[in-house]
Structures are given as C-alpha cells and as structure tokens.
Amino acid sequence: MSDRDEAHRARLFDEFKTTGSTEIRNELVESYLPLAEFFANRYRDRGAEQADLRQVAQLALVKAVDRFDPSVGVQFSTFAGRTMDGELKRYFRDKTWSVRVPRSLQELSLEVRQVVEQLSVETGRPPTVDEIAESAGLDSDQVLEALDVQTAYRATSMDRPAPGSDGDVTLGTNLGTDEPGFERTEMAVAVARLMTTVPERERAILEMRFYQDMSQNEIADRLGISQMHVSRLLRRTLEQLREKTR
C-alpha cells in the first residue's frame, strides 16, 4: 500500500466520521478486505467452514470501520486486526463446540492450540506437555485440561463420504471394531515395571484402569473426582512413564 493510498484512506476516515456516509464506509471496507481474509486464514483447519470464518472477519471489519477514531493515533490496520481476531476467537468459543464446555476452558484450549502450532513449526515435531506449559506460562495440568477439551469441537458426521471414495463409502463404514483387550494387555505389561515410580494416587488410578478394567467414570466415582481430572492424571502419568522408558 503506497503512501498515496494511505493518505486517501485517511481522508476517507475523516470524511466518514463527519458524514457517516454509507458509500464511504463501503469503500473503506472493500479496501481492507484482504486484511479480513488474512485473519480468517489464520483460523482455517480448526473445525469451522472457511466461508463462515470469512464472514465473521468481514463483519468485524465493518464494525471496526464504524468504531474507528483516527484522532486516537492508532493505525486502523492494528485496530481492525484486534477487532477481527477477537470476533474470530469469540466465534470459536461460542459456535464450534459440540459439547458444552466452560468459556474459560474454551479460551484456554484456543490459547494452547496456538502455542502447539507455533512450537510444532519451530521444532519440526509435536511439542511435549512441559514445552507447551513453559511457552504458554501454564502448569502441566492446565495444558492437559486444554488438550482434553479440544475433542469437544464440532463433531464430524459419520455419514460423510470417506476420502478417496465415490460417495458410496462413508467414514462410519470404515470404522473398525475396537479390541480394547489388546491395548489393556500391552499397557499393563509396560507399566508393571514402573508402577512403583509414580505417586500413590496415580498408581491407584493405573491399577484400576489397566488391572481392574474400570472405566474413567468408574474411577472418578471411586475417588470422588471428575472424569476429566482422571483423564488428565492418566495422560500425564503415562507420558511420564513413556519418558522413563526412552
């Protein structure tokens, strides 16, 4: 964008603030549509349709044009970027969850997801829980909780055509039959040697899960904690055990 174009936009904002002209507002919005596209693309592949993200960003752009005050001294691109980013985060928080999740956890999940993506690019591999926690300024329990709730994003229909099919094979058709006994047996053997290295509560959870064949809900009822807390403790403990076997 040239200085001449920026000067023209500045004049348009001054005139719009004075007149409230719809034509001027439309011209300003159209000139900043690439910025809306940029912010919509930042949230692609996160469980929402790209057309919906584009619409949210564009509506936020209109709102930013209406609210912008050139006399404040902030560049419009900065002001509009914050507005669009906030609206897109709010859209994910309120519209794209298939299971009801507290708002604070939704926001935490989005924050952790951004950190995971950034660290994956920087390191070329999926980051560990400790790396995510350090980068985000969180503790490991918070990271595990945020990762757990990401499964509550809008679910994919099992009636959708499977990739590479002509539409006669659905995702549901390709689902195999679970063999939980194989996983439990393999895990029981793996953790038996390391069982004494974990705290008493975590050891009890491992025993109930892999030796007594109890579900996470049953363990939660037994210990008087939530199923999500059991899931976090299991995941953290198993990750610690895997680290010890490397």
Q: Is the pTM of this model over 0.95?
A: no
* Host domain of residue 15: 3-95
Shared domain for 91 and 101, answered yes or no, is no
Shared domain for 9 and 90, answered yes or no, is yes
* H helix count then E strand count, the chain: 12, 0
Q: How far is CA 177 from CA 109, 162, 172, in A?
A: 30, 17, 11
Instruction: Give the separation between CA 90 and CA 110, rounded to whole angstroms.
Output: 10
Q: Which of 95, 127, 152 represents a domain boundary (last residue)?
A: 95
Reported as a single tens digit per residue, the pLDDT across 63-95 is: 999 989 888 888 898 999 989 988 888 787 666
Reported as a single tens digit per residue, the pLDDT across 97-118 is: 555 556 676 777 778 888 888 8
Domains: count for the chain:
3
Nearest 5°: CA angle at 183, between 177 and 186?
150
Reported as a single tens digit per residue, the pLDDT across 143-200 is: 877 776 655 554 444 445 555 555 555 544 444 444 444 444 444 444 455 666 778 8
Instruction: Give the separation between CA 125 and CA 127, rounded to whole angstroms.
Output: 6
Look up the CATH number of the domain holding residue 135: 1.10.10.10
Retrieve residue 151's tokens.
């499964």
